[in-house]
């Protein structure tokens, strides 16, 4: 399972973190290059990786793919080459292939997850490929790597959406609250997600505060379309917005749809539809 392999990467990453001072000293010396596998330090492979990364920055994904594959023929144990290949695959519209390349990169070097660009790409590829457990793992790594800025708030919110989609409502509530704290301002995505999670726990009065804030956002329908996870999660949010606007018939129809389609929240949707 992909998530199991990434979980192994996190375990290895924790071991690396405890030994980071010694590793840092080694990396500053020639010893670091000496202990790597010979193919890892191949000058030809490094040049191909540099060309691949340059092509990525110029949005020339076919060239990036070709150069990354060339590097892997020379250095099949290069995590950097797998990262370049995965990025090219992701931006070329092949998220499943990208996901496998990223997983291999992390298996080879779990420290890559310390780079928020890497964990962000893995999360993006996994979401597009429908591998939500892997996306959740990658977003946890992204949050740990990001400073306390708006990007961190968005990562908390995206993680909360996926966790709620998987049926873990209590955990989602904590993550949504973290998103709102990090944002330090109105965050309609997190407010709406939190309102839905609270209603699923029958905490309707508390949910009403966040639902009202989200419903006042002019672009809320567009925001809902960007929610990751099972499609029923988007239907549930649209139902709440209709409910906030007093459009009970539309909300009722959508909650019935959620009850038919949701893998985890059927009982809540039926309860809402009966009200």
Question: What domains can be seen in the chain, in order of their start residue?
Answer: 2-145 (1.25.40.10), 160-274 (1.25.40)
The whole-chain average pLDDT of the chain stands at 84
Q: What is the pLDDT of residues 22-42, one digit of tens each?
A: 333 333 333 333 333 434 458
Report which DSSP code applies to 39: G
Show the tokens assigned to 275: 């009200």
* Mean pLDDT to the nearest integer, 111-138: 89
Of the listed ranges 19-33, 77-91, 113-127, the least confidently predicted one is 19-33
Q: What is the pLDDT of residue 111?
A: 85
Work out the pLDDT band at 157, boundaries 50, 70, 90: very high
HEC profile of 123-145: HHHHHHHCCHHHHHHHHHHHHHH
Q: What is the pLDDT of residues 194-217, one digit of tens each?
A: 999 999 999 999 999 999 999 999
Nearest to 143 by CA among 120, 174, 111, 168: 120
Work out the pLDDT band at 63, boundaries 50, 70, 90: very high
Nearest to 242 by CA among 270, 221, 258, 256: 221
């Amino acid at each position: 399972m992909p998530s199991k392999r990434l979980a192994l990467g996190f375990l290895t990453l924790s071991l690396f973190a405890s030994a980071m001072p010694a590793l840092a000293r080694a990396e500053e010396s020639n010893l670091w290059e000496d202990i790597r596998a010979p193919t890892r330090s191949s000058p030809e492979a490094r040049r191909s990786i540099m060309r691949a990364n340059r092509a990525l920055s110029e949005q020339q994904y076919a060239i990036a793919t070709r150069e990354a594959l060339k590097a892997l023929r020379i250095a099949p144990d290069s995590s950097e080459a797998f990262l370049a290949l995965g990025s090219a695959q992701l931006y070329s519209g092949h998220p499943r292939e990208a996901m496998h390349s990223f997983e291999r990169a992390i298996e080879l070097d779990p420290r890559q997850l310390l780079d928020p660009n890497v964990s962000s790409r893995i999360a993006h590829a996994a979401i597009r490929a429908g591998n939500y457990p892997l996306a959740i793992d990658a977003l946890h790594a992204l949050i740990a790597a990001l400073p306390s800025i708006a990007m961190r708030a968005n990562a908390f919110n995206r993680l909360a959406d996926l966790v709620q989609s998987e049926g873990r409502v209590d955990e989602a509530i904590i993550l949504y609250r973290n998103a709102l704290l990090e944002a330090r301002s109105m965050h309609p995505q997190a407010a709406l997600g939190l309102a839905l999670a609270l209603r699923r726990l029958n905490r309707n009065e508390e949910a009403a505060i966040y639902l009202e804030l989200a419903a006042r956002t002019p672009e809320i329908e567009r925001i809902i379309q960007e929610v990751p996870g099972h499609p029923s999660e988007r239907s549930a949010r649209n139902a709440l917005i209709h409910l906030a606007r007093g459009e009970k018939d539309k909300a009722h129809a959508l909650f019935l749809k959620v009850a038919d389609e949701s893998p985890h929240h059927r009982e809540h949707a039926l309860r809402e539809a009966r009200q």
